[in-house]
Amino acid sequence: MKKILSAIMAVVMAFAVMVPAFAADKCNCGETPTVYVAALGSGYVMLDEGTENERVLFRPETEDILKILLPVVPAAVELIATKNYDKFGDVLIGCVNEAFGMLALDGNGNSHPRVTSEQFHPDTAEHGGDHSYYFGYDFRLDPVEHAKNLHSYLEEVKELTGHDEVKIRASSMGGVVMMAYIRLYGTKNIETIIFQNCPLLGTAVAGELFNGKFEINKDALVRYAECALPAIEIDFVSGLLYALCEAFDEAGIFDALLGLVDGIIVNLKDRVFDECLIPIFGTLPGIWSFVPDEYYESGKEFMKLDPATQAGLIAKLDFYHYEVQGKAEELLRGAQADGTNIYIVAGYNMQRTPLVTAYMETSDGTVDTKYASCGATCAPIGSQLPEDYVQARFNDIDYISPDRMIDASTCMLPECTWFVKDMLHSTTHDGHGVFYDVLFASEEQLTVFDMPEYPQFMQNDTINQTFVPVAELSNPIEDAFNMMKTIPSFLNFVKLVATVLETVVDFVFKTLIPAV
Ligand SMILES: [Zn+2]
């Protein structure tokens, strides 16, 4: 009798535990949970975690980096005196290996056992209003592996919140992870995906570096520094720095500095590749996922991937490249066919990383516009499409930007791809939040033609934290003046003054003096 009683008690208690779980199962708040699939650097990578020697390998604190790189300074001073590049190379390569060597993966693309990374799990049931769940990962590893973790993460979010669906905002490398997710699981339980500045088709900086096309261009370097200035929160400081950059450039200071750097590149490039880049970064599937198709096979050769000892790694790289990046259009259109709204946001008119031969490609500073937008035709940075250029596809709809820098008709999803002029890579303000809320709120797929306040081509206004429609271009002074009028910041004022001065100097030296 006792046994029967305890059996009944056990059943009753089991139900008592289960019932509240059933009751909490569904949430009717009407707000689908949002998950932010974060960018590179979202998860910590640790060496000897939990021991007294624990060290953050990525992202290291600035002071740790400085400590490791400290020996480079006296070595550089010695280099200027002796021109002994090999000796300098020993110090430099030694330091880089000390800082990043343990990041390297084995022949199967797996981490060293002493290196571990942060794991992410949703930690709250709160999901309304501005709350957004955060998913991060170890940037080194195979995006397909992250996609599997993301799948469990989304299941946990659904269980925790009592919603069947989620909305996704993917930023930068987060888009790579998301594409791998779509390839593996489809998008049946995903309402909406926003891809923000994602290297969906790669980025030239990875492709060119993995092909040894390393090059530093002075003009690109100056423009790169100047493009980053609006991200500084104090407008006066950014204006001042802009003026300094221009003055240093005129005085030839950057040229002198680059002369020095050029010597280092000519003398040490091969060693840096053979002793750092290939053995460390060449083993990371995360970085390989950024390599665009036209650089991929030649890159595998240049980075000396060995089919015998690195077969497992190569299989991972090939799967992402050919099954995910190579099928981007199919995956995105498939997601839409399954009822998921897809939005792509790409920045343009920013100077790309000035270390590679492709420095003339318009970008958000990190990802080339043509790759982030899945195929836009773009004029080189600072210029326009040729006067006789005709839109490539869909001639009944206007897909050319008012400043004639972009033809969006060649995009995979031209009607759902937005371009934000002067948007720095994954650097957002409140205006982005408002725009994304509008996209997230719509049950139907919105297009670039649906909202007059959000046309396909929008000028980023970091001062007023909003967007204004991109304007037509006329001549540099008038453009700078109009920009100052639309977005009245000290930085734009300095840019206007610099443009006027440059035009006057050009006129004097190129027109007046040769005429005399
Ligand atoms: Zn809810």
Are 308 and 395 members of one domain? yes
Between helix 218-228 and helix 235-250 the angle, nearest 10°, is 170
Residue 201 near residue 327, CB atoms below 8 Å = no
162 Cα to the center of ligand 1, angstroms: 7
Alpha carbons 115 and 97: distance in angstroms, whole number = 15
Task: Count Cβ atoms within 10 A of the Cβ of residue 130 and give its class: 0-12 exposed, 13-18 middle, 19 or more buried.
Answer: exposed
Are 179 and 223 members of one domain? yes
Residue 107 forms part of a structural domain: no
Are 248 and 166 members of one domain? yes
pLDDT-based confidence at residue 21 (cuts at 50, 70, 90): very low
Alpha carbons 98 and 263: distance in angstroms, whole number = 24
165 Cα to the center of ligand 1, angstroms: 10
Residue 396 forms part of a structural domain: yes
126 Cα to the center of ligand 1, angstroms: 8
pLDDT of 132-191, one tens digit each? 999 999 999 999 999 999 999 999 999 999 999 999 999 999 999 999 999 999 999 999
**pLDDT value of residue 430:** 96
28 Cα to the center of ligand 1, angstroms: 6
47 Cα to the center of ligand 1, angstroms: 39
**pLDDT value of residue 235:** 84
Are 469 and 491 members of one domain? no
Are 276 and 314 members of one domain? yes
Domain span at residue 506 reads: 477-516
pLDDT-based confidence at residue 389 (cuts at 50, 70, 90): very high
How big is the chain by its Cα radius of gyration, in Å? Answer: 26
153 Cα to the center of ligand 1, angstroms: 17
426 Cα to the center of ligand 1, angstroms: 28
185 Cα to the center of ligand 1, angstroms: 23
Residue 324 forms part of a structural domain: yes
pLDDT of 317-357, one tens digit each? 999 999 999 999 999 999 999 999 999 999 999 998 888 88
Residue 232 forms part of a structural domain: yes
**pLDDT value of residue 511:** 77
31 Cα to the center of ligand 1, angstroms: 5
**pLDDT value of residue 64:** 82
**pLDDT value of residue 413:** 98
Are 461 and 492 members of one domain? no
441 Cα to the center of ligand 1, angstroms: 14
Buried b (16+ CB within 10 A) or exposed e, 344-369: bbbbbbbbbbbbbebbbbbbbbbbbb
Average pLDDT, the chain: 91
192 Cα to the center of ligand 1, angstroms: 16
396 Cα to the center of ligand 1, angstroms: 43
**pLDDT value of residue 22:** 44
158 Cα to the center of ligand 1, angstroms: 10
Residue 69 near residue 95, CB atoms below 8 Å = yes
Are 228 and 342 members of one domain? yes
**How many domains does the chain contain in total?**
2
Are 486 and 372 members of one domain? no
Q: For residue 34, give the 3-state DSSP assignment.
A: strand
Alpha carbons 218 and 440: distance in angstroms, whole number = 42
Are 157 and 274 members of one domain? yes
Are 498 and 442 members of one domain? no
163 Cα to the center of ligand 1, angstroms: 6
Residue 356 per-residue DSSP state: B
Are 293 and 429 members of one domain? yes
**pLDDT value of residue 466:** 96
Which stretch of DSSP H or E encloses residue 246? helix 235-250
Residue 50 near residue 185, CB atoms below 8 Å = no
390: alpha, beta or left? (left if phi > 0; alpha if psi -120 to 50): beta
Structure tokens belonging to residue 270: 């091969």
160 Cα to the center of ligand 1, angstroms: 10
Residue 505 forms part of a structural domain: yes
Residue 454 forms part of a structural domain: yes
Residue 379 forms part of a structural domain: yes
Alpha carbons 77 and 230: distance in angstroms, whole number = 34
Alpha carbons 349 and 369: distance in angstroms, whole number = 9
Are 382 and 507 members of one domain? no
30 Cα to the center of ligand 1, angstroms: 6
pLDDT at 5 over 80: no
Residue 4 forms part of a structural domain: no
More confident site: 224 or 173: 173
Residue 450 near residue 438, CB atoms below 8 Å = no
